[in-house]
Amino acid sequence: MFNYNKSTKKSKMNSGKIEDQFLTALLEKCGAAEQRILVALSGGPDSVALLHLLVATQKLWQGQLFAAHINHKLRAAAEDDALFCSKLCEHLQIPFFTEKVDVRDFSANEKLSIETAARELRYETLDRILREQKCNLLALGHHADDQAETTLGNLLRGTGLRGLAGMPYKFGNRIRPLLGLSQNDLLDFLKEQQISYRKDESNLDTQFKRNKIRHKLLPYLQQEYNPQISDALNKLSQISNHAEDYLVSEAGKALQAMTIEETEFKIVLDIERFWSYFDILQKYALRLAIEKLTSNQIRPNYSDLERIETSLKTNKIGTQIPLHGKWEALIDREVIVFRATTAFNFDMHVEMDGFAEHKDGWKITATRIDSAGIDPRNQATRFSQFTDNTKIKGRIRVRSFRKGDFFYPLGLKGKKSISDYFTDRKVALYKRKEIPIVYCDTGIIWIVGHHLDERFKVTSHTNSIIKFEFKDKNL
C-alpha cells in the first residue's frame, strides 16, 4: 500500500491561528452567529477538534452548544466511544444526547450497503435530535482532506459542477466549518491542547469506497503523479463552487421568470419561456424547482434532468414522470408541473353543519338552512351552491377527481363524464385533481367552482336545503 500523507503540507499554524481561521469560517461561511448548534460527535479526532474549537470560540459566536453521538452498533468499541463522548461533554458542561441505531438490520431490509445505511440512519437520528432540541444548525467535522476525497470520488462516479464543488460550508441546516483546515491542522491543535480522542479502526477497512480512495487511490496519485494532489483537488472544488454559485444564481432568476404558479404542493413552469434559456440554465432551473418543492428531499442527478427534458421535447400532453417518493412531473398544455401526488388524492367526510378542511388551505362547509326566501338562481355562485337535502343519501364527502367519474350537469340533458366535461371547459390536466368534488351515496353533487348536478337542484317542492360553500385562504 502506498503511503499517503493526507495533507501534503504540514500544519504551520498554532492553536490561535487555527481558532481564528475556524471562527472566520463559522461566522462568514456558515452563518452561525448566535445560533443553537448541535455537534455530530463520533469521538474521533475531527469531531472532537470541532467541539473544542466551538467551545474555545463560543464567546465570540455567542450561541448555544449541544452534542449528539450515534452508536451504529458496528464495532466492538462502540460502547466505549459513546462513554468517551458522554464524559467529554460532561467535562465541558455541554448537553449531550446519544442513541443507538441498528445499521445491519436497516441495511438488510432496505437493501443498502452498510456505509449508506449507516449514513442514512445517522442523519435521520441527528435531524430528529436537532428538531427536538430546537437547534438551528448541525455541525459536521469534515475537513479539507475529506473534501479532496469527496471531489475525487464524485469525479470517478461521474458528476457535474455540483459534484466537483464537493461539500459546501453550509447546506440547509448543516454546516462544515472545518473545510478550510487539513487533518494535520486538527491533529496539531489536539496535540498542542493535549486533547485525547478515539481511533476508529474501521476507517482503515478498504471494503468501503471512501476508505479505498483514501488509502489506495490518493496515495498512488500522490506518489506517481502529483505530490500536491489534495491541494489540487481542493482548488478544483473551490473553482467549481464559484461556477456553481453563479449558475444557481442565474438559474434562480430564470426559474422565477418561468414560474406561473407556486404553492406548497406544486410548481408550474411555462414551457415556452423554459426553452428560451441556454441548456445549462434549463437543467439548473429544473433542479432548483424540484429541490425547492421537496425542501431538498430530492436532489435530482443529470439522468433525472435528462429524462424530464426528453419528455418536454416529445411534448406529449398527459405524460407523467415519476420522481422519487411521492413526487412527479406532469406535461400539460404549455406547462410542466412538479407536484406532490399525495396532495391531490384526497377523500374526506364533510360534517353536516360543519366542514372538511384540506391541507392545501381550503375547506368545504355544509349548512342546513330554511328554504324560505332562497332563490338559487340569484344566490348561488361559483363557490356556493344550494341543494335539496332530501335528495342526498348517506354521508356527504369531498374528494378528488377519479377516472370514470360522471354526473348529470344542471340544465343539460343526460349524463356526462367529468373527463369530457373538463375537456370541453378546457380545464388544464394538472388542475383537474385539485378541483374538489362533493358527493354522497346517490352520486356526485357538485363539481366545486364549475357545475351542480341536476339531481340535487332546489325546486319549488324543496323544503329542506343544504348550502355548500367553498372557502380558500389562497383566493
Q: CATH no. for residue 366?
A: 3.50.40.10
> Is residue 41 within 8 Å of 48, Cβ to Cβ?
yes
- Same domain as 168, residue 33: yes
Structural domain that includes position 274: 242-342
Strand-pair category, 170-171 with 174-175: antiparallel
At residue 111, the pLDDT reads 87
Give the span between the Cα atoms of 355 and 349, in whole angstroms.
Answer: 8
Select from 295, 310, 342 the last residue of a domain.
342
* Residue 371 pLDDT greater than 80, yes or no: no
- Same domain as 206, residue 90: yes
- For the chain, the average pLDDT equals 91
At residue 474, the pLDDT reads 60
Nearest in space to 61 (alpha carbons), one of 96, 95, 20: 20
User: 27 lies in a domain?
Assistant: yes
> Is residue 88 within 8 Å of 48, Cβ to Cβ?
yes
What long-range pairs does 315-324 form, CB within 8 A, spacing at least 24?
A: 315/271, 317/429, 318/429, 323/290, 323/294, 323/298, 324/297, 324/298
At residue 295, the pLDDT reads 85
* Residue 21 pLDDT greater than 50, yes or no: yes
Calculate ∠ Cα 171-344-253, nearest 5°: 40
- Same domain as 305, residue 319: yes
Select from 227, 262, 280 the last residue of a domain.
227
Q: What is the pLDDT of residues 346-360, one digit of tens each?
A: 999 999 999 999 888
Select from 296, 319, 342 the last residue of a domain.
342
- Same domain as 430, residue 314: no
* Residue 383 pLDDT greater than 80, yes or no: yes
- At position 316, the amino acid (one-letter code) is K
Positive or negative, the CA dihedral 253, 259, 263, 267 is negative
Helices (H), 225-347: 229-258, 271-275, 279-293, 302-314
* Residue 328 pLDDT greater than 50, yes or no: yes
- Same domain as 85, residue 188: yes
Nearest in space to 443 (alpha carbons), one of 379, 380, 397: 397
**Ranges 184-193, 199-208, 308-317, 361-370: which has the least confidence:** 199-208
- Same domain as 144, residue 23: yes
- Same domain as 138, residue 45: yes
Positive or negative, the CA dihedral 141, 146, 151, 157 is negative
At residue 11, the pLDDT reads 52
Residue 323 burial by Cβ neighbours in a 10 Å radius (0-12, 13-18, 19+): buried
Q: What is the pTM of this model?
A: 0.77
- Same domain as 247, residue 196: no
At residue 8, the pLDDT reads 44
236 pLDDT tier (thresholds 50, 70, 90) = very high
At residue 3, the pLDDT reads 46
At residue 9, the pLDDT reads 47
From the CB of residue 307, how many other CB atoms can be counted at a distance below 10 Å? 15
At residue 350, the pLDDT reads 95
Nearest in space to 222 (alpha carbons), one of 209, 231, 211: 231
Q: Strand 464-472: give its sheet, edge to edge.
A: 354-357, 362-370, 464-472, 384-388
Highest mean pLDDT pick, 35-44, 73-82, 196-205, 210-219? 35-44
At residue 299, the pLDDT reads 86
* Residue 164 pLDDT greater than 90, yes or no: yes
> Is residue 132 within 8 Å of 124, Cβ to Cβ?
no
C-alpha cell at 350: 364533510
Mean local confidence (pLDDT), 445-462 = 94
Mean local confidence (pLDDT), 421-434 = 92
C-alpha cell at 417: 363524464
Strand-pair category, 64-71 with 96-100: parallel
> Is residue 464 within 8 Å of 371, Cβ to Cβ?
yes
Higher per-residue pLDDT: 295 or 153: 153
Quote the crossing angle between the two packed helices 78-92 and 45-56, to the nearest 10°: 10
**Ranges 120-129, 201-210, 401-410: which has the least confidence:** 201-210
* CATH code of the domain containing 36: 3.40.50.620
At residue 379, the pLDDT reads 85
- Same domain as 275, residue 338: yes
- Same domain as 328, residue 383: no
Task: Give the list of residues 6+ apart from residue 358 with CB closer than 8 angstroms, or none.
Answer: 346, 348, 436
At residue 115, the pLDDT reads 84
CA distances to 199, 408, 446, 464 from 390, in Å: 77, 17, 16, 7
- Same domain as 292, residue 156: no
At residue 326, the pLDDT reads 85
303 pLDDT tier (thresholds 50, 70, 90) = confident
Radius of gyration of the chain (CA): 30
At residue 473, the pLDDT reads 65
The strand pairing partners of 388, in sequence order, are 465
4 pLDDT tier (thresholds 50, 70, 90) = very low
Give the span between the Cα atoms of 423 and 234, in whole angstroms.
Answer: 56
Pick left, alpha or beta for residue 335 (phi over 0 → left; psi -120 to 50 → alpha; otherwise beta).
beta
CA distances to 29, 111, 173, 417 from 108, in Å: 38, 5, 29, 48
Give the span between the Cα atoms of 438 and 365, in whole angstroms.
Answer: 11
Mean local confidence (pLDDT), 148-163 = 91
User: 297 lies in a domain?
Assistant: yes
* Residue 201 pLDDT greater than 80, yes or no: no
- The H or E element spanning position 107 is helix 103-110
**Domains in the chain: how many in total?**
3
From the CB of residue 262, how many other CB atoms can be counted at a distance below 10 Å? 16
User: 53 lies in a domain?
Assistant: yes
* Residue 441 pLDDT greater than 90, yes or no: yes
* Percent of the chain scoring above 90 in pLDDT: 73
C-alpha cell at 151: 471531489
Q: Residue 270: phi, psi to the nearest 5?
A: -80, 120
Give the span between the Cα atoms of 180 and 241, in whole angstroms.
Answer: 14
378 pLDDT tier (thresholds 50, 70, 90) = confident
* CATH code of the domain containing 266: 1.20.59.20
From the CB of residue 130, how many other CB atoms can be counted at a distance below 10 Å? 22
At residue 12, the pLDDT reads 63
